[in-house]
Amino acid sequence: MSDAALVLDLDGYEGPIDLLLALAREQKVDLARISILALADQYLAFIAEQRRLHLEIAADYLVMAAWLAYLKSRLLLPDPPEDDTAPSAAELAEALAHRLRLLEAMQRAGASLMALPQLGRDVFARGAPEGLAMIDRPVFELSLYELLKAYGDSHRRQHGQTLTIPPSTYQAMSDALERLMQIVGQVPEWRELIAFLPEEMRGGAMRRSALAATFAATLELAKSGQLELRQDRVFGPIYLRSVTRPEAE
């Protein structure tokens, strides 16, 4: 055992894999040809020494020790033939070796990275760059509409204008109800509510008023059992039809 050379303190290691890697380096052989069996022995001996010295051992190191003990027994015994899906002992050993190589590669890579000339530590940028002056040239955005609108505002403010409020025209619900009553028995198929608006009110601003009034009227008629209403989705068109057969009370 050469672990006497190692610090007998787990604080120096970044976990069990790191400890294994440090022990592997003690073997002074290429990781490609490392003996996992020997490594397992070293690790177990190291942990045993820790125990003997009554040093605190983190659970992770003990989990690894248990796993290595298991691996060691597998390596020493022939693989059980009945289970083809479970990894063989050799595969487990290779997986561990690969993992050690991965970690070693990253430890080396980290050292190489840190050895690179670093900005502000080894190499320096210009201490007082003058900067590249950027002259802002304003481009004014204004549309003809905005210009005309502004003139309109100004003109109106100065010259004023008589505000005439036209008498508002709207359809009352009573009117709509009256209209619908005339046709209520004559709609056997589903038809869109829109189709029942007064002709002169199907466009422009009157449309909303007529639509609201007519819709309210259809609700009234539906309530009294003369119409059926249907809407397939939110904000979708509203359909109506006559109730053909009077419901038995």
Site for other proteins in 62-101 (CB under 8 A): 63-64, 66-67, 70, 87, 91-92, 94-96, 98-99, 101
- Shortest distance (Å) from residue 232 CB to other proteins: 28
Distance (Å, rounded) from C-alpha 216 to C-alpha 173?
A: 7
167 Cβ partners below 8 Å, 6+ apart? none
User: Which positions from 96 through 125 interact with other proteins, judged by CB under 8 A?
Assistant: 96, 98-99, 101-103, 105-125
**CB 76, min distance to other proteins, A:** 16
- Name which position in 4, 5, 76, 134 contacts other proteins (CB under 8 A): 134
In the complex with other proteins, the residue whose CB is nearer, 99 or 230, is: 99
Is 157 or 233 the residue whose CB approaches other proteins more closely? 157
- Give yes or no for a contact between 243 and 189, defined as CB atoms under 8 angstroms apart: no
Shortest Å, Cβ 74 to other proteins: 9
Q: Pick from 188, 152, 8, 32: which is nearest to 102 by CA?
A: 32
Shortest CB 15 distance to other proteins, Å: 3
Separation of alpha carbons 215 and 176, rounded Å? 9
The CA distance from 181 to 173, in Å, is 12
Cα four-point dihedral sign 43, 45, 46, 48: positive
Asked if residue 27 lies in contact with residue 40, where contact means CB atoms within 8 angstroms, the answer is: no
- Position among 85, 161, 186, 244 found at the interface with other proteins (CB under 8 A): 161
Q: Among 137, 223, 233, 245, indicate the residue that binds other proteins (CB under 8 A).
A: 137
* 120 φ/ψ sector (left φ>0, alpha ψ -120 to 50, else beta): left
Binding characters for other proteins, 201-230, by CB under 8 A (x = yes): ---xx-------------------------
CA distance 105 to 110: 9
The alpha carbon of 35 is separated from its chain's Cα centroid by a whole number of angstroms, namely 46
Contact pick of 6, 16, 72, 227 for other proteins (by CB under 8 A) = 16
> Which position among 136, 189, 232, 247 is part of the footprint of other proteins (CB under 8 A)?
136
The binder of other proteins chosen from 30, 56, 83, 130 (CB under 8 A) = 130
Task: List binders of other proteins among 32-61 (CB under 8 A).
Answer: 58-61
- DSSP secondary structure letters along 33-61: G--HHHHHHHHHHHHHHHHHTT----HHH
Q: What is the distance between the alpha carbons of residues 161 and 164, in angstroms, rounded to a whole number?
A: 9
Q: Does 167 engage in binding with other proteins (CB under 8 A)?
A: no
Nearer to other proteins, 171 or 218 (CB): 171
The minimum distance between CB 111 and other proteins, in angstroms, equals 8
